[in-house]
Each structure stands twice: as C-alpha cells, then as structure tokens.
Amino acid sequence: MDFKEFINKSYLRPWDIAIILLLIISSFLPLVVFSHQPGNTAVLKVDGEVIKVFDLVEDGPTYTYKYEASDGDYNLIEVKGDKIRIVETNCGDQICVQQGWKSKAGETPIACLPHNLFIIIEASDGSEDGSLIY
C-alpha cells in the first residue's frame, strides 16, 4: 500500500494533512518566543537599604566592587558573568566569604551579619517563582 492509496482509503483529506503539519510546526512557537531568558540581578542591601544592583548575565564581564562603610567595614564583591560572591571582608567570622558563588534567583542570600550586608539574587523578569521575600 503506497501513500496515495492510504490517503484514499482513510478519512483524511489533503487539507487535513496540511492543517496537522501546521499545528505541529506552530506547537514549537513558544520555544522561539520564550527562548530568550534575561539574566538575573543581584541586589546589595546594607541595613535594609539598597546600595547597588548588579546585572548577572551569562558571558558577562568580570569585575569587583568594594563596599566600604563609614566605620571602616568593607566587603569586596566579585561578579563573574552570571554569578556573584564575596571575596574578602574584614569581619571576624568570614562566613560570607565561605558561602561561595551564587547565581540563581531564590537561592539563599549571601549574608554578612556583622556588617548587616545581604546580597539577594532576584529574577530580572519580575517572576515570583523561586524567589524569597526579605
């Protein structure tokens, strides 16, 4: 049985096949539309006040930012593409340095409690999925 014979014996008509192919192709449209995912943002807060917002984008630049308080406390923050960490600080416990790299929205924030400093990663598209409220 060849293809023409199969079509003639079935209830499918040529336009039915065209419509089915169009529906199959259009089912991949959301992949094209939503494939561009913007990067996240990291928000640096000290005493509840937003000090700086870092854009975390894949293949982005690598740079350091030094937050220095008026009383001499400091934190050296490193951004490398889509991840962020605290490299150096002058607090006693160094727990914020030991937390390492963070990159996902909703992950546990980087916290330096002696300096009351928090780095919170948020989804830049405004979605609430996986994000924590502080």
9 has pLDDT over 50? yes
Position 100 in a domain: yes
Residue 53 lies in a domain: yes
- Over its C-alpha atoms, the chain yields an Rg (Å, rounded) of 26
What local confidence, expressed as pLDDT, does residue 131 receive?
43
In a domain, 128, yes or no: no
Mean pLDDT of 71-87: 92
- DSSP for 16-53, please give it: HHHHHHHHHHHTTHHHHHT--PPPEEEEEEETTEEEEE
Q: What's the CATH number where 47 sits? A: 2.60.320.10
Q: What is the pLDDT of residue 38?
A: 67
Q: 108-120 pLDDT, tens per residue?
A: 899 999 999 999 9
Residues 55 and 99 placed together within one structural domain of the fold: yes
Residues 85 and 49 reside in one and the same domain: yes
Residues 18 and 80 placed together within one structural domain of the fold: no
Averaged confidence pLDDT in the chain: 84
Task: Write the pLDDT tens digit of every residue in 10-39.
Answer: 777 778 888 999 999 999 888 877 765 567
Statement to judge: residues 23 and 47 lie in one domain: no
Same domain for 45 and 83, yes or no, is yes
Tokens representing residue 72 in the block: 């001499």
Q: Which is more confidently placed, 2 or 93?
A: 93
**Assigned domain for 96 exists:** yes
- Is the same domain home to 57 and 77? yes
> Quick one: 56 and 29 in the same domain?
no
Domain that holds residue 21: 3-33
Model confidence at 45, pLDDT cuts 50, 70, 90, reads very high
Q: Give the chain's domain count.
A: 2
* The pLDDT value given to residue 15: 85
Task: Give the pLDDT of residue 134.
Answer: 45
Q: Between these two residues, 133 and 65, which has the higher pLDDT value? A: 65
24 with 65, same domain: the answer is no
Residue 131 lies in a domain: no
Strands 40-46 and 49-56: antiparallel
